[in-house]
Amino acid sequence: MAKNGMQVDRWATRFGLVMAMAGNAVGLGNFLRFPGTAAPYGGAFMVPYFIALLFLGIPLMWIEWTIGRHGGGYGHGSTPGMFHRLWKHPVSKYLGVFGVLLPAMIGLYYVYIESWALGYAWKTISGEYWGHESRDQMKEIFSQYRGLENPGLFSFGLESYLFFLITFGINMFVFARGIQRGIEMVCKYAMPALLILGAILAVRVLTLPPVEGRTVSDGLAAVWVIDWSVLKNSDVWLAATGQIFFTLSLGFGMIHTYASYLSRSEDLTLNGLAATSTNELVEVVIGGTIALPAAVIFFGPSITKEIAAGGSFEIGFYSLPVIFQKLPFGQFFGTIWFVALFLAGLTSSVAMFTPLLLFLQDELGIERRRIVITLGVIIFILMQPIVLFMHKGIIWELDYWAGTFFLVLFAAIEAVVFAWIFGMDKGWKEMHAGADFQVPRIFYPIMKFVTPTYIIALLVWSSIEVWNTKIATVDQNPYLWFARGLIVVSGLVLCLGIWHAWRTRPHLFDEVEKGPEL
């Protein structure tokens, strides 16, 4: 397959494609964010979760696969060019900027968080924190590890920074090797390993003996027993829908890029469903069987809700290390936990800068080697304030805008553009080209009416929250404004790149369609 006359990677095997797509979705959120988000609502959380999966997650997944493959047939590996192929309007390319900007912004802080799992795998196997058997002690150790104990101007922990450098190096090595020799090679081994490690941990939790009368059944009840009155609370619907976005990597732009390497004769309906099912297996079956049930057994339901209220890291880095110390062979199971977290993070992070690389390569015609070296240096420099000023809230501000609000905005844009501007008739036909699986016809009206309406409603709700928490209340913290400025400036630079590509390489965006390559 060629893009703009240049030979590029392609997926070597169908298994590698599915594992890479699943790995793109499977991340830290499956093991940390999911239990932390679900815990306050109990089993009631799973009702809106599966509703959102059916009416939003799966349809939008097929939309993103279709947009990606369609645009890839014209030589576009990123969403600016893909959107132009959907809608011949000057603004369309600029709407696609989100699919390049957002994964890059998320990658700036995600790699650092991912490195904590690698560092804690070492701390666990070495027994470094063994003997500290309270959550408060583990919280202090975790703060010291990140340099958050009396940080002064900088939050700097030598140990955490060393593991950050190792993790960054691994990501850049995979990134530089491309799709087939890099991302596919890592994911087709890392994902099966992750599934095996997760299954071992799940089985261990399911075989835990009672603690103060609390059994495994009590632990599983925290995930599966439904209090229907909770569904009257609008927050549970918003939280569950947001989790579907996050867990399937919808609105990130990375699914589009991966799918751009498919030819029109290659299946995307069954492959997409297989990748989504693998992610849900990891999150619901494995992720839902480890952290929450274990916490309930050892700490009780009420304390578990307090733990969840403290955030995802409370579960993963404070509470579970305490539990591991109470188990036979606890260092072994604790090491497995953190290695699984690291693999989950790695299979996601290796994809985050790929849309930017392909934008620079395909649309601006920059030689790949130059891009890899230059991006590596720029990315590393931009990561430094995020690492050093973490205690000032930079990570969480970037996560709010790039990892939450703009994801919903971008998903709303692409759902409307695909279903109503490109047209569902054309989209449905394109989606089924080369298909090994006929999508049930009921998804046609769902993708045309329900999915866009669902996302727009979520966007309106999110916009109200943005107004109340971010705009009406003006925060004078300069570090938060740095995070916002980084997103805005980076977006403007990318828009300038789009304008330059359109002006200097008009054949990429000509009005006569060449037809996707087979």
- On the question of pLDDT at 6 being above 60, the answer is no
Confidence of residue 517 (pLDDT cuts 50, 70, 90): very low
- On the question of pLDDT at 114 being above 70, the answer is yes
- On the question of pLDDT at 516 being above 50, the answer is no
Average pLDDT over residues 72-95: 94
Contact present, 360 and 379 (Cβ < 8 Å): no
Average pLDDT over residues 18-45: 93
Confidence of residue 509 (pLDDT cuts 50, 70, 90): low
As a whole number of angstroms, the distance between CA 473 and CA 431 comes to 44
Helix then strand count (H, E) for the chain reads 28, 2
As a whole number of angstroms, the distance between CA 359 and CA 455 comes to 26
Query: Model confidence over 171-195: pLDDT tens digits?
Result: 999 999 999 999 999 999 999 999 9
Query: What is the reported pLDDT for 512?
Result: 47
Query: What is the reported pLDDT for 154?
Result: 87
As a whole number of angstroms, the distance between CA 258 and CA 57 comes to 17
Query: What is the reported pLDDT for 5?
Result: 40
Average pLDDT over residues 196-221: 95
Report the mean per-residue pLDDT for the chain. 92
Query: What is the reported pLDDT for 310?
Result: 84
Name the CATH architecture for the domain at 2-509. Answer: Up-down Bundle (1.20)
76 or 474: which carries more pLDDT confidence? 76
**3 state SS of 213:** coil
As a whole number of angstroms, the distance between CA 29 and CA 106 comes to 13
10 or 157: which carries more pLDDT confidence? 157
Query: What is the reported pLDDT for 4?
Result: 45
> What does R_g of the chain's alpha carbons equal in angstroms?
22
Query: What is the reported pLDDT for 518?
Result: 32
**3 state SS of 512:** coil
Residue by residue, DSSP assigns 274-336 as: HHHHHHHIIIIIIIHHHHHHHHHHHH-HHHHHHHHHT-HHIIIIIIHHHHHTTSTTHHHHHHH
As a whole number of angstroms, the distance between CA 365 and CA 359 comes to 9
- On the question of pLDDT at 382 being above 60, the answer is yes
507 or 100: which carries more pLDDT confidence? 100
**Residue type for position 495:** C
* 3-state SS, one letter per residue, for 424-490: HHHHHHHHCCCCCCCCCCCHHHHHHHHHHHHHHHHHHHHHHHHHHHHHCCCCCCHHHHHHHHHHHHH
**3 state SS of 77:** coil
Confidence of residue 398 (pLDDT cuts 50, 70, 90): very high
- Largest separation between any pair of C-alpha atoms in the chain: 72
Average pLDDT over residues 440-454: 97
- On the question of pLDDT at 308 being above 90, the answer is no
Half-sphere exposure of 36 (CA within 13 A, CB side): 21
Query: What is the reported pLDDT for 511?
Result: 52
Q: Interior CA angle at 481 toward 478 and 485, to 5°?
A: 135
Q: What is the DSSP letter of 73?
A: T
Query: Model confidence over 242-295: pLDDT tens digits?
Result: 999 989 999 999 999 999 999 999 999 999 999 999 999 999 999 999 999 999
**Residue type for position 41:** Y
Average pLDDT over residues 402-409: 93
